[in-house]
Amino acid sequence: MTSLSINVNKFALIRNARGTNMPNLVDISKKCIEYGADGITVHPRPDERHVKFSDLEELKNLTDNYEKIEFNIEGYPSDNFIKRIIDVSPDQVTLVPDPPEALTSSFGWNCEENKNFLTDVINKFRENDIRVSIFINPSSETLSKLHTIKPDRVELYTYDYAKNFNENKESAIKPYLEVTNYLKKEFPHISLNAGHDLNLHNLGYILENISEIKEVSIGHALVCDSIDFGLKQTIAKYNILTQHQK
């Protein structure tokens, strides 16, 4: 079984567009949980264009109401991020190497170059009982340093898989199978998450082939699908009102 953690950043982006509280992020996250999510993920970026640091406490309180629902916070571990995340104490933090202005996460950690930094940061979270996952490329290059860094989990960056899936799914998944086999052999205690650009078309195949994936975090496609699947019913509701006036 793989947990589905819904990334609610895009809902926050819509909320922020009007400077009001619509949609209400806590209500949307509650609906995500009640409709079947196993967890809520957020990625508060330094410019707070999606989820804001001030949202974190309320979302943590929400997920705390449910026994098996996890709260995962992603982000670059700046001093400010580390402090805010330790204060909120989510179930999991996912460390990404994004520069502050990044549109979205677009590469995993170079574990060789960041070995000391990641080791120190992970120790801080661990002392506070927060599980740590780090975002990695689908390649074993630089991963030997995981011996020292010792994260609880790694999150496979699935952009390349999603990009190549439509052309040739067997070759799209090949590097992911290789890195999973490497991790299983060298680091059997490190568990596996996956995320980025996963959607209704490509999710099933990766989970069938890499059953070790404990959690997927999905945001963009899920929000687009919700618009798609909800559009017909929504317009019908408006039509009832407009036709009523004719």
Choosing from 74, 91, 160, 215, the residue that interacts with ligand PXP (CB under 6 A) is 74
Q: How many residues bind ligand PXP (CB under 6 A)?
A: 19
| HSE-CB for 246 with a 13 A CA cutoff | 5
Q: For residue 51, give the nearest of 18, 8, 17, 94 by alpha carbon.
A: 8
Round to whole Å and give the CA distance between 56 and 44.
9
Choosing from 15, 90, 196, 213, the residue that interacts with ligand PXP (CB under 6 A) is 196
Tell me the backbone φ, ψ of residue 108, rounded to 5 degrees.
-90, 180
Choosing from 2, 72, 94, 114, the residue that interacts with ligand PXP (CB under 6 A) is 94
157 or 246: CB nearest ligand PXP: 157
Least distance from C-beta 17 to ligand PXP, angstroms?
A: 18
Tell me the backbone φ, ψ of residue 92, rounded to 5 degrees.
-145, 145
Work out the number of other CB atoms within 10 angstroms of the CB of residue 197: 18
Instruction: Tell me if residue 242 falls in helix, strand or coil.
Output: helix
Round to whole Å and give the CA distance between 212 and 88.
29
Residues known to be catalytic: 43, 74, 196
**Which residue's entry shows tokens 């496609």?**
221
Residues 2-41 interacting with ligand PXP (rule: CB under 6 A): 7, 9
Interaction between residue 135 and ligand PXP (CB under 6 A): yes
229 or 238: CB nearest ligand PXP: 229
Listed ranges 11-19, 23-31, 81-89, 192-200: which one lies at the site for ligand PXP (CB under 6 A):
192-200
| Nearby residues of 153 by Cβ (< 8 Å), 6 or more positions away | 92, 131, 132, 133, 134, 190, 191, 192, 193, 214, 215
Listed ranges 30-38, 79-87, 122-130, 190-198: which one lies at the site for ligand PXP (CB under 6 A):
190-198
Choosing from 2, 92, 202, 217, the residue that interacts with ligand PXP (CB under 6 A) is 217
Listed ranges 84-92, 110-118, 178-186, 212-220: which one lies at the site for ligand PXP (CB under 6 A):
212-220
Listed ranges 59-67, 110-118, 201-209, 214-222: which one lies at the site for ligand PXP (CB under 6 A):
214-222
Instruction: Tell me if residue 71 falls in helix, strand or coil.
Output: strand
Residues of the shown chain interacting with ligand PXP in the complex, contacts defined by CB under 6 A: 7, 9, 43, 74, 94, 96, 104-105, 135, 155, 195-198, 217-221
